[in-house]
Structure 1
Amino acid sequence: MKGTTLLLSLLAAFQAFCQNTPTERQLIENTIQLYFDGWATGDTTKLGKAMHASCHLKNYRDGKFTSFSRSQYLGLFKPHARPKNLHTQIVALDITNNMGSAKVEIINEREIFTDYFNLMKTNEGWMIADKVSTRTPHKTSGANPQKETILDGLKRPWSMAFISEGEVLISEKEGDLVKYNFEKKEKIKIKGFPADLEDSLDGFGDNTGKFEVVLDPDFRTNKYIYLSYAAKDQKGRTTKIVRAVLENESLQQIKVLFVAEPYTSQRVHYGGGMLFGNDGKLYFTIGERIFTEKDEPAIPIAQNVEDKRGKIYRINPDGTIPKDNPDFGDKATPGLYAIGIRAAQGLTRDLHTGKIWFSEHGTHQGDEINVLEAGANYGWPMKTTGKYRFAEFAPKPIPGNSYKEPVWSWLQTVAPTGLHVYWGTEFAGWNRNLLVGGLSKGSVWRLVVEGETIKSAEELFTDDRLRIRKVVQSPMGKLYLLSDEVNGKLIRVKNAGL
């Protein structure tokens, strides 16, 4: 028995060590982030730590070649406040043994800097060995968004995740998980989806089927993808979150991470939105799973921390619970991060600030946009900006509760779904704006954001309405939509004003 206990302890310690040990990709990202931070504020200490002593920086512009040594380059910087509208990102990263290369972008209000780094791992860690750079002014033409259908014949597509610029995974709510190759114009079905999937029913109001597909941040190395879907058993159906290895167009080594029990007969409000935060944790939404407030128990579902439904969760990629999650009490569902959720589906992360935004379906009106906050209570069904489906519903106050107000709510029904914080140069005037798809009447909304305040809202494509399920950008910044139709479409949004 002692030997077994010791073995289990050693195994647990080893697993904890592996979980907390950063990958080579994460180490390189840390070095590049150090460079970004130094560049943004003129901090030559941070810049110097990111660059090897032998580093040279080169560019060729206006017919002239220039080269700077590390010390000459650092001499160009002076301390300054970080610009408000600065965006930095790693576009591509490749690693072989102790060598690597990266393409990065630094975008400000006037122009975009594109840098190509060669990196090497030394006794001091990963460092930038050399850099070539170019800059491109933003296009000044106005935004004139136009749609181009890239792929049709999709069966109510729900989500998409780019493997590369040329390949994307698409989940069809009423169909398959597929991989699409842009160059070959080839669509391949991914085999091995979990057998307990509950299919959708024809007709209005059924939300059942496949939902989100998300890549692991270290997908190139571990091939992990994460899926949410409506699962069934003899008692009914519910939302399930799983992880799988994607190998040879097949899902393998499927691991269940979360089951939103209880299984019920309801076919609505599953939630299923997922994303990875800057912290490497997996966030996901679980809907309240009832259609009308008439069916609420004495303690409403979304307010009961012992009930898995009507919540937002945060877990480690292997399904374990982060130690720094908010504390909702001893009886609370493990992994709980926020409560008071009715039917949230869309989650997105601001690449600049790391803040997570989410959309929330109301009943009659009451559609909302919120910023995710650890431990927050978003109020449903104690309060709403809309109306209840069961007009006589009057929830009893819960002593001690406080509720977070939405950042934005619409006066009409929008049915907001997948949302996205825009970055890039094709629609330069949209940088840091929220783009939100809507199912009601079919729409895309552009919300102008300052901090956590939405200053204005513009509805796009009012002359060409489609039910929009997802808004997303490719690794190179191209803007795409998924339309929620029986003949669903993958749509590229181009700026015809350029």
Structure 2
Amino acid sequence: MKNTLVLLALCLTCYSSFAQTDRQQIETTIQLYFDGWATGDTAKLSKAMHYSCHLKNYRDGRFILFTKSDYVSRFRPKERDKNLSTNIVYVDITDNLIAGAKVEIHTATDKFTDYFNLMKTTEGWFIVDKISTRTPHRIRTAMPEKEPVLKGLSRPWSMAFLSEDEVIISEKEGDLLRVNLRTKVRTPIKGYPTDVVGKMGGFGDNAGKFEVVLDPQFSQNKYIYLSYSAENEAGKTTKVIRAILENDALTNLKTLLLATPYANECCHYGGGMIFGPDGKLYISIGERLFTEKDEPALPFAQNVQDKRGKIYRINSDGSIPSDNPNFGAGATPGLYAMGIRATQGLAHDPISHKIWFSEHGTQQGDEINVLKAGANYGWPIKTSGKYRFEGYTPPKLKDSTYTAPVWFWQQTVAPTGLTFYTGDEFPTWKGNLFVTGLSKGSLWRVTLENETVKNVEELFLDSRVRARKVLQSPMGKLYILTDEMNGQLIRIVNRN
């Protein structure tokens, strides 16, 4: 019996290790280091670092070298400083065997910047080398200005960073482009699916190319994920595919999600996508209706058997995770949350690891929400705004619980993309949520405390413009994409 228990424990340990991606295992190792550093827990520090680890610190113009044992011996148990924050700036993995990472530790007075080399062994990932520096905080007040980087984009919708200077831009009414931000050279990527809607319809039509997202392991597998409005003889719908990007062309296209049925409605496709910290792909699908008078007795967004008005969670190959919430018999595969009208933006909070999303209302009712497994966000039964069709009376559904938004605006904003800021250019903005809008106001800064909105500030009141996406580069630069026929990529710079 004892041998059986030991074997079971070993199996569970192996399963736990392999259930995580390499990136997640690396982040777990770094978090162990953070926790040990913050509390003086030498056991955690030792567990995070390989026995051969050496640490180099730059101070007063010279490097100081420590062995692992020397370094660990300097720590004593202490209470975690409430002003301390930690951040993994980036992780770069090669062949799933070695990796490099940049991390930051902020105290009330200093910023510690560490560069880790990590190695995968039979026992997991370890820090094998560290070089660090310490910089006193110099608080720069924010004096943001817009600095155009690219012009002449055809209604840009999304952007993904290949590196600090090279990006993929998805033009809603144009091409999928590879762009060098330094030289401004633009290269159309060939092989985009031929069923993409080729011609816009009338008022309210927002069909076209939507999101572009890179696989977390893009440097190894070259996978790229695209959402767009697809059409056939029956109408249009939202479609998500995976492809391999190589030599500026898409190959090995695979459909991951098709939000059937095809229909003649030409708005509210959704199409937002993000990889969560769990390595799963989250996808928003809009309700597709322009007015509530066209709602069936059981609204699309409240019908678990209908693919519209939902948020999905799938594996990168399109299969369904076994730990997805259960919505009952007949529920559409991959369903993660429901009651959605027109979500386009999804963002990952690097501190709490929660996913936040924006939501379009009708007349007012624009929202910011936190994504929760199995949640029902209420549309069209519950809304913080007014209905477009004044005579609409929502049905009363039994045994339904609705999740309220974290924030909603009193005016129409039409929120789109959103991102959490972790850069250094605007220190007083660190940890804030930024949201772009298509209506009044182009950029909003939201100060949060856990899941409570403490302050909302509209920026650039004198230069409002339809903005589709706000995003941050690997090195922490803040950008927005404008939703115009002569669209722009604009960098937000601090002139102070």
- Equivalent runs, 1:72-151 vs 2, <5 Å: 72-77=70-75, 78-81=77-80, 83=82, 86-95=85-94, 98-151=97-150
CA apart distance, 1:204: 4.6
SS at match of 1:345: coil
Which amino acid is the alignment partner of residue 437 of structure 2?
G
Q: Is the 8 A contact 2:83 2:108 kept in 1?
A: no
Q: What code does the residue aligned with 1:72 have?
A: D
Contact in 1 for aligned 2:91/2:99 (Cα 8 Å) = no
| Greater Cα offset, 433-442 or 205-214 | 433-442
Task: Give 1:201 shift.
Answer: 1.8
Distance 1:110 1:371, change over 3 A: farther
The match for 2:241 is 242
d(CA) in 1 for partners of 2:18, 2:312: 20
Aligned to 1:450: 449
CA distance in 2, matches of 1:154, 1:85: 41
Alpha carbons of structure 1 residues 25 and 296: separation in structure 2 relative to 1, 3 Å: closer
Q: 1:137 Cα shift?
A: 3.1
1:44 to 42, 48, 64: 42
Q: What does residue 348 of structure 1 align with?
A: 347
Q: Report matched runs for 1:293-442 at 5 Å.
A: 293-442=292-441
Once the two structures are superposed, residues 241-279 of structure 1 have per-residue CA deviations (whole angstroms, 9 ceiling, x without a partner) of: 111111110111110001001100011000000001111
C-alpha contact 2:442 2:465 (8 A) present in aligned 1 = yes
Shift of 1:182: 1.8
TM-aligned CA deviation for residue 220 of structure 1: 0.7
1:92 deviates by 4.2
**Paired letter, 2:225:** Y
Structure 1 contact 239–259 (Cα < 8 Å) conserved: yes
Q: CA deviation at 1:23?
A: 5.5
1:58 aligns with 2:46: no
Q: Is the 8 A contact 1:112 1:425 kept in 2?
A: no
**Distance of 2:121 and 2:400 partners within structure 1:** 53
Shift of residue 109, structure 1, vs aligned partner: 4.8
Change (3 A) 1:422 1:196: same
State the Cα deviation string for residues 19-58 of structure 1 (Å, max 9, x = none): 9665555544443333233334433222111112232211
| RMSD over aligned Cα atoms | 1.9
2:163 corresponds to = 164
Counterpart amino acid of 1:69? T
Q: What do residues 174-217 of structure 1 show as CA deviations (whole Å, max 9, x unaligned)?
A: 00110111222211111100110003527652110000001111
Counterparts in 2 of 1:488 and 1:202: CA distance versus 1, 3 Å: farther
Paired AA for residue 144 in structure 2: P
Aligned equivalents of 1:233, 1:154: Cα separation in 2: 27
- Aligned counterpart, 2:488: 489
Q: Which residue of 2 aligns with 1:33?
A: 31
Would you say how many aligned residue pairs link Structure 1 and Structure 2?
Answer: 480
Give the Å deviation of 1:229. 0.3
Q: Report the AA paired with residue 73 of structure 1.
A: Y
The alignment's TM-score, normalised by the length of structure 2, stands at 0.93
Q: 1:34-84: per-residue Cα shift (whole Å, max 9, x none)? A: 323333443322211111223221122223432222122223332433646
Given that 1:91 and 1:103 are in contact with CA atoms closer than 8 Å, whether structure 2 keeps it comes out as yes
Distance (whole Å) between structure 2 residues aligned to residue 236 and residue 69 of structure 1 = 66
Q: Is the 8 A contact 1:86 1:109 kept in 2?
A: no
Superposition deviation, residue 115 in structure 1: 1.3
Which residue is equivalent to 1:256?
255
Quick one: distance in 1 between partners of 2:97 and 2:312?
Answer: 36
- Show CA shifts across 1:435-483 (max 9, x none): 0000003420111100000011100000111111000000010000000
Q: Decide whether the 8 Å contact of 1:159 with 1:172 is kept in 2.
A: yes
Contact preservation (8 Å) 2:50, 2:126: yes
1:259 alignment partner AA:
L
Query: For 1:237 and 1:97, how far apart are their aligned partners in 2?
Result: 40
Check whether the contact 2:140–2:427 (CA below 8 A) recurs between aligned residues.
no
8 Å CA contact 2:363–2:412 kept in 1: the answer is: yes
- Give the AA of the match of 2:60: D
How far 1:434 moved relative to its partner? 1.0
Distance, in Å, in 2 between the alignment partners of 1:185 and 1:251 is 22
**Larger deviation: 118-127 or 327-336?**
118-127
State which drifts further: 481-490 or 437-446.
Answer: 437-446
Residues 139 and 426 in structure 1, CA contact (< 8 A), matched pair in contact too: no
Deviation at 1:378, TM superposition (A): 0.5
Compute the displacement of 1:124 (Å).
Answer: 3.2
Tell which deviates more after alignment, 76-85 or 468-477.
Answer: 76-85
Name the SS for the 2:308 alignment partner: coil
Q: Secondary structure at the match of 1:391?
A: coil
